[in-house]
Structure 1
Amino acid sequence: MRRSPRSNGRKRRRRARSSRLRLPPPSAPRCSVDMMRCMTGFRNFHIEGELAGLALGPVLRLLLPGESWSKVHRLIENRHVEINGNLCVDRGRRLNEGDVVKLWAEPRNAPPREDQLRIRYLDRDVVIVEKPAGVTSTRHSEERDWSARRRQLQPTLDEMLARVVGRRLRATSAGKARGRRAPPLRVRAVHRLDRETSGLMIFALSAEAEHRLTAMFRAHRVERRYWAVVRGVIGPQTIESYLVRDRGDGRRGSTDDPSKGRKAVTHIAVREVLGDYTWIECRLETGRTHQIRIHLSEAGHPLCGEKVYYRPRFGAAPPDQSGAVRHALHAFRLALDHPITGERLEFEMPLPDDMRRLIDRLRAAAR
């Protein structure tokens, strides 16, 4: 088929723009996918200078000069690329200054589908769901203006849950009474789990439930317990510190000045020592951002598979040869009084398959 002059003109302009861009300096990480297979399994690319503002596809084409456009597109579509730790399959995603693009030799796990969500409790005010690893709890503010197509490429838990719960409610007599043109259901987040963390979450479905649940979390009236696998052998203890957004190295962490941080308390119990690793239970007394991950890392026992908080405040962390495919953290228990009815709600979720296999493997290696 013969291309139109307009199509050819757009193609020439794209090529001209790419040719005007300067490639990253020699010190920038550049590699082929085949070379990565012989190294660590991934490479990081830090976006800066003229690369900022460009789409993911053209940027990877510049950083991987030995690869064709079709190969670059396949890498993105087949889940080899993460941006700032989040899977990205959208080659048109614009990159910002300071973004970190991680290119994996092996594909990442596919995002969970709506039909894979397991709802444990549902009424007109709240829903409790088992969050799988690999999906963000809510959409980042920078992504809220995305088109419907881009949102479908990278779904979030609250968006999937709104569709699933909406269908269930419409299937009931109360839902049918609303009519087919009822406004889309709003799922209201009152707490969050990190993208790689699995476990139980509760969302509000009404404004009153959202208000009361927020107050309950603030007053520490919601019981949350986690299972984690950490590097090294750790004993039972309580970790208390004051957390700040930047501890001095660009990461969240603890400060020695209580007036500058927010109090965070984590209670740790040991379930099993697995050779050079430990399976532990963590109970949150407070619920600060990344609290468990920070406390364990600063204690010298970061999570297996941890990619951000892997250095203690002083000294070096034990090496991670666990082979964990993500940070090994699972919110297995959620207990609270129903915010509207007062009914006691208590739920537990078994270990997901990846963490169960990790523990079995470490247990076998320790024998």
Structure 2
Amino acid sequence: MSITKNIQYKVSLENEGATLATIVRNLKPDLSWSRIKKLIAQRHIKISNDVCLDPARRVRAAEEVELLVKPDGKALDKQEIVIRHLDEHLVVVEKPPGVNSVRHPAERTWKESRKSLSPTLEDLVTKQIAFLSKKDVKSKSARLRVVQRLDKETSGLLVFARTADAERGLGMQFFNHSVERKYLALIPGTIAPQSIESILVRDRGDGRRGSAPFSQPGKKAVTHVHLVEKFQAFTLVGCQLETGRTHQIRIHLAEKGSPVCGEKVYRTTANGTILPDGSGFPRLALHAAELGFIHPISGEPMHWNMALPEDFSKLLQHLRK
């Protein structure tokens, strides 16, 4: 037996913590365990719009599991990660959407065979550097040091340090907010050019991150927003980060009533109102288009631009018609 039609299922509280294989078996009891594992390996199963290749992955409540008649694309290979700059101290890469920047601490003890089912950008770049330098992937020269992250669905430029000195130097620039980071985001409707400043907290009252009164303890966040291109029902905006808090752009735009298209978390306000989208875009329409900093060792100013990925570019082409 196989999958004859696409099936979507939103994980209930009752099934939270179950393995992906168990969820698929519940949805398709006619499938054998071996058949389920094969379908997962062949990219027929997605969790929250991302292909999952790990049958032992435990699901969380409200996640969406989708069983696909046709497999979804192919896995990323280390050769597909574009390296924009590589020297002995750092590496700048183009992150594709749908890949975690780094592995969750709880997953770092996984066996390599399990990690290979869902490689992170850190994993892929480490392997590519090892391949290019003809070194073992576990060698010290291949190891990456994390100084920056992008959300899984976000594409764009990202830097990893390769030495302790570079890690300290880049870390200080991020801490001092001197790193140049410019993003492109598509939003429904429009928004006035402005600088958004708020205090971000981990829990705004409904378990999600958000802004709080300035009198409350939290982290200052500043996003500068300008208009790039206006469409009939959408606007492409540029967002320059003065600070770089977790989900900062997504939170700030959503709190102004203009969530990033494809937003799943912050479209719902703290009072339960669901903000409109209408784009049908399956992921966050958010792209880290520019990155600039001072090389932590040489002192040389460095700057890169990255074009939009194909799916984002096609969306804009469609809106221009």
Q: So what's the TM-score if we normalise by structure 2?
A: 0.89
Deviation, 1:186, is 1.0
Distance of aligned partners of 1:47 and 1:141 in 2 relative to their CA distance in 1, 3 Å threshold: farther
Distance of aligned partners of 1:234 and 1:276 in 2 relative to their CA distance in 1, 3 Å threshold: same
Distance of aligned partners of 1:272 and 1:167 in 2 relative to their CA distance in 1, 3 Å threshold: same
Distance of aligned partners of 1:217 and 1:314 in 2 relative to their CA distance in 1, 3 Å threshold: same
Q: Which residue of 1 aligns with 2:77?
A: 113
Q: Which residue of 1 aligns with 2:162?
A: 205
Q: Which residue of 1 aligns with 2:119?
A: 155
Q: Take 1:135 and 1:212, find their aligned partners in 2: how far apart are those partners?
A: 26
| Contact kept in structure 2, 1:112 and 1:132, CA below 8 Å | no
Q: Which residue of 2 aligns with 1:356?
A: 313
Q: Take 2:172 and 2:227, find their aligned partners in 1: how far apart are those partners?
A: 31
Distance of aligned partners of 1:65 and 1:86 in 2 relative to their CA distance in 1, 3 Å threshold: closer
| Contact kept in structure 2, 1:242 and 1:254, CA below 8 Å | yes
Deviation, 1:89, is 1.2
Q: Partner letter of residue 272 of structure 1?
A: E
Query: Aligned residues: percent identity?
Result: 42
Q: Partner letter of residue 55 of structure 2?
A: R
Q: Which residue of 2 aligns with 1:169?
A: 133
Q: Which residue of 2 aligns with 1:138?
A: 102
Q: Residue 104 of structure 1: which of 59, 66, 76 is its match? A: 66
Distance of aligned partners of 1:182 and 1:249 in 2 relative to their CA distance in 1, 3 Å threshold: closer
| 1:1-367 matches, cutoff 5 A | 34=5, 36=7, 42-48=8-14, 51=15, 54-62=18-26, 64-65=27-28, 67-69=30-32, 72-73=36-37, 75-83=39-47, 87-93=51-57, 95=58, 98-104=60-66, 106=68, 108-170=72-134, 182-183=139-140, 185-313=142-270, 316=273, 318-364=275-321
Distance of aligned partners of 1:284 and 1:258 in 2 relative to their CA distance in 1, 3 Å threshold: farther
1:118-147 alpha-carbon deviations (Å, 9 max, x no partner): 111111001000111111000011211111
Unaligned runs of 5+ in 2: none
Higher relative contact order (Cα pairs below 8 Å, separated by 6+ residues): 2
Distance of aligned partners of 1:168 and 1:229 in 2 relative to their CA distance in 1, 3 Å threshold: same
Deviation, 1:314, is 6.3
Deviation, 1:90, is 1.3
- SS of 1:247 mapped into structure 2: coil
Deviation, 1:183, is 4.3
Q: Partner letter of residue 31 of structure 2?
A: S
| Contact kept in structure 1, 2:97 and 2:155, CA below 8 Å | yes
Q: Partner letter of residue 345 of structure 1?
A: M
Q: Partner letter of residue 76 of structure 1?
A: I
- SS of 1:212 mapped into structure 2: helix
- SS of 2:116 mapped into structure 1: helix
1:22-44 alpha-carbon deviations (Å, 9 max, x no partner): xxxxxxxxxx97374xxxxx331
- SS of 2:11 mapped into structure 1: strand
- SS of 1:34 mapped into structure 2: coil
Q: Take 2:149 and 2:312, find their aligned partners in 1: how far apart are those partners?
A: 20
Q: Take 1:120 and 1:292, find their aligned partners in 2: how far apart are those partners?
A: 24
- SS of 2:204 mapped into structure 1: coil
Q: Partner letter of residue 43 of structure 2?
A: R
Q: Take 1:181 and 1:328, find their aligned partners in 2: how far apart are those partners?
A: 35
Deviation, 1:166, is 2.2
1:250-286 alpha-carbon deviations (Å, 9 max, x no partner): 1111112443211101011101111111101000000
1:159-215 alpha-carbon deviations (Å, 9 max, x no partner): 111121123234xxxx7xxx9995462101101001110000010000010011111
Unaligned runs of 5+ in 1: 1-31, 37-41
Deviation, 1:111, is 4.0
Structure having the larger proportion of residues in helix: 1
Q: Take 1:142 and 1:315, find their aligned partners in 2: how far apart are those partners?
A: 31
